[in-house]
Every structure is written in C-alpha cells, then in structure tokens.
Structure 1
C-alpha cells in the first residue's frame, strides 16, 4: 500500500497515492464539480476552485464551512475541512494520471479511520471515472485494523506521571460502539467486584490489579462509528507487562469478528 503517516509538529499527515487510467482533466472535474464530487467524496461540497473561496459542506444535513487554500487548475487543489487540510495533486502518467493526496489533522489515533475511509472513497472515485455504478462500501473492520498495525498505532506509550510513577497508555480507535465493546472489556479485565475503584457502564472501568497496578479502561467518542479506547496502567510492574497490549489487540480482534 502507498499509505504513509508522519508527524509535522503537533499535526499528523496521511499520505496516499492512486493511479487512474484517465487523463488529469477528467479527474480534475471529478475533484471540483459538485455533482461528480458528491458521488465519491464523504460529503457534498460546493466551491469555486479559487484560492480564498469558501467551501460549503453538507454531510447528512450537517452543514459546515471550509476554505480553498491552493488551486492550480488541472493540477492542485487544497481546502480546509474544519481543522483538517485536504490536498489533491495530479500528475500526468502515460495515458492516465497519478493522484497524490495528503490529509493533515490533529487526531493521530483516528488515522486508521481516515485512511480506510479514503481508500474506499478512491475506489468509488475510480468507479465514477469509469462511468460505472458506485458500489464501494464503508471500510471493513479488518481494513481499518490493518492500518492500525501498518501505522504503528497499537503500541503503548510509557511516561512518568505527576507523582513520579511510570505509566503506560494505549489509545485505539475501535470498530464498534462502546455498548458492544463493554462486555469484552469487562471479560478482559477479569476484576473482582471488591477491587473496582470506578465503574460507569459503558464508559469507564477502573480497578486495582493483583500486582498493585492501577488500571483504567475508558470508552469515549471516537472517529467514525466506533468508540475510542484509552487504557492506562500505572505503577510497577504493570507498566512493563506485555499482556496489556495483548488485551487491547484481543478486544479489537473480537470486535471485528
């Protein structure tokens, strides 16, 4: 896959490339003309491809604005979408063209959702260019989680807390809502009732582990339709136990099965 992820200051940049067997002029129309764009883009968007022009988005009745930041007719188009920046660059390639796409955003752990979503959008774009019915579906859970692994988003981050103790933090976008993830979290935690410190179904489960570590599972609002998991383990030796990463992986695996 051509997808890569890197950081730029406090922002994350997703880079994707696709080749289409159609000339740049045809792809440019699909990028800029609302009736073409609405067939493959996540939202209906209307704008003039001129720097400074406003962009009007309508996504299932939810309306918001953006602004065109770059526009070179037939070659480069970039605009803001909320706090995000989308950039499309076309290059002639034989009898077709190559699209270089970048999406810049702040939510690093949403990257797999963005990548899998755009991958399906570009499948739909291919169908639009081919004049075929658009059959591209929403990304599968397996496709999403493949990007989690590819981008290294499954790893925990070890840090030192305000009290000087060590902790490991896992953050992962899930492919199912909190209500579906909660019973799996409870089973994986395997905590005795007397050890529970906080419980707010289906949002929070905090407890003391047998080795003395403090464990906190949180399920909040995520990117797309799934919940965002934050698992924090504080105190030695729990921080260094690789089983925590395995439990997060098992949760993700059960939700996509």
Structure 2
C-alpha cells in the first residue's frame, strides 16, 4: 500500500474503537464522521457519486443520484430508498434514507478541499435514538469500505457479528445511547437470545413495564431479567434460551421481544403503547436477514 493510501485510512484500523461521534441535538440526534484523505476532492467526489464505485462500498444505486429524484439502494440482501434533497457537484450530497422499518433519517456528505487533499464529512440525522448505536457501527464499516475504494484496494470483508457488536457497544458506552437490537449468543449445543436496553427509570418500574409488555405478547416464560441501575438509568438485560433450531421461529421471537421492549419504553413515559402488526413483520424480516 502506498504512503498516501496508508495515511488515508489511519485511525480506522481498530474495529472496536469508534471513529465517529454521536451528538444530541435540540430536535433529535446526529451521527458524525470526518475523514481526511490525501487525494484530490474530485477523486473523493467520484467515489461518492460514481454508481460503479458506490456499488463497491455501499450498494447498487438505482437510478443514479439526481436532484429531486427518488432512488433505491440494494445492500446486503436488503434495500433502502429515499429522495435526493441536494446535489452540488464536487461539494455536497444530501438524501433522505428510508429503511424497511419505516424509519427515516437525512444523510449528508460534504467534500471539502483540505490540507492538500480532501476532507469528507458525513452526517446522519434522525429524530430518535433507536438503532443509533447499531447505525454508528454500521456506517463506520461502510466508510471504511469507502476509504478502501478511494485507495484502489479491495473493501474489507463483512465484519463478524461479535466484532460488530463490540463496536456497537463501544458507541453505546462512549456516547451514552442504548443498544436497540437483540442478538444470539451461541455455544456448542446451546443458543441464547440476548437483549440489552437502557431506560431512564428505576429498576422496579422497568421490570414491571417489560413484564406487562411481554405478557401482552405472551413472552417471558423461561427468560431471565436483570436490571442494573446507575445514576437513574436502568440497564436491562434479558436472556432466554432458544429451544429448537428453526431460524424463522427464532426471528419471530426476537421481533416480538424487540416490540415488547419498545412498548415498555412507551409505558415508562406514562403512555399507552399501540404495537402494530406491520412493524412486527418488518422486525421479523430484519432479524431473519441479520441471522
């Protein structure tokens, strides 16, 4: 690898260390990455917008980015869609990002001339902290692939689930945001479902809210609950052994738990949750794909 290629990726080699930052805004949250490259801004813009190169670091875009037009990105067996809000050649690209769960965020890339090369700034803005830790870990991997394509080297392979969770947990701890997704902990002959959620509430209130929400979805039998309370924040951990090996049944159980924990958050705010079957099916598809 050349000296320029090496320096363009410095600081991103450790997959367990956050390279971005999570910021609380007055109207939501933002994920921010700033990456200095030793290449001309025109080259970085080409990697950002050339469909053949975008396919290498993110996914297949249909059609090309075009101001005011809708697009679809096929990535990793799933797809997202949105609209191009801003497109200033060699300068900035802003799009809406609508995922399969119906969550919408606004993504913005800016390419600035800097220190004889180019500074790439990436911002993702969203209304809630749902999936924020997971999204941070995911975007770090995508931007690492971007850096590899910019350097003319093969993008890194897909991270192992344990590596991705370690990075997600690092973002959660450093920026005080709750994990959202559950995962499977597998040992020889045994599979355990694990969820971790953080709530701004006392431990006894969290336990009651989760038991109520889980009971409505007929969950909880055989599950172990623990809540660690620190400075008014209760960190819930659920573990439940999975009997049998039907992946679809496992995905359905994880989706039901995910929805129950979302409902518990609503209960803790003193409101009445209204889970819907569309979101449950979307969560089931998400967990099925991630498995």
CA distance in structure 2 between the partners assigned to 1:112 and 1:64 by the alignment: 19
Residue of structure 1 in register with 2:56 after alignment = 39
Query: Which of the residues 209, 219, 226 maps onto 1:200?
Result: 219
CA distance in structure 1 between the partners assigned to 2:37 and 2:167 by the alignment: 22
Cα distance, 1:174 vs. partner? 4.5
Cα distance, 1:228 vs. partner? 7.9
SS of alignment partner, residue 183 of structure 2:
coil
**TM-score with structure 1 length normalisation?**
0.62
CA distance in structure 2 between the partners assigned to 1:12 and 1:203 by the alignment: 36
Matches within 5 A, 1:173-212: 173-174=180-181, 176-177=183-184, 180-182=192-194, 198=215, 200-201=219-220
- Aligned Cα root-mean-square deviation (Å): 4.0
SS of alignment partner, residue 176 of structure 2:
coil
Q: Which is richer in strand?
A: 1
Task: Tell me if 1:54 matches 2:55.
Answer: no
**Are the equivalent residues in 1 in contact too, given 2:35–2:119 (CA < 8 A)?**
yes
Change (3 A) 1:136 1:99: farther
Query: Which of the residues 114, 120, 123 maps onto 1:99?
Result: 120
Q: Which moved more, 1:73-82 or 1:54-63?
A: 54-63
Shift >4 Å, 4+ stretches: 60-64, 196-199, 201-207, 216-220, 226-229, 231-235
Residue of structure 2 in register with 1:6 after alignment = 23
Structure 2 residue runs of 5 or longer lacking an equivalent are: 1-17, 99-103, 186-190, 197-210, 227-235, 239-252, 269-291
Task: Tell me if 1:140 matches 2:156.
Answer: no
Query: Which of the residues 80, 85, 94 maps onto 1:78?
Result: 94
Larger Rg: 1
Q: How many residues align?
A: 197
**Are the equivalent residues in 2 in contact too, given 1:173–1:228 (CA < 8 A)?**
no
Structure 1 residue runs of 5 or longer lacking an equivalent are: 154-170, 185-195, 208-215, 236-257
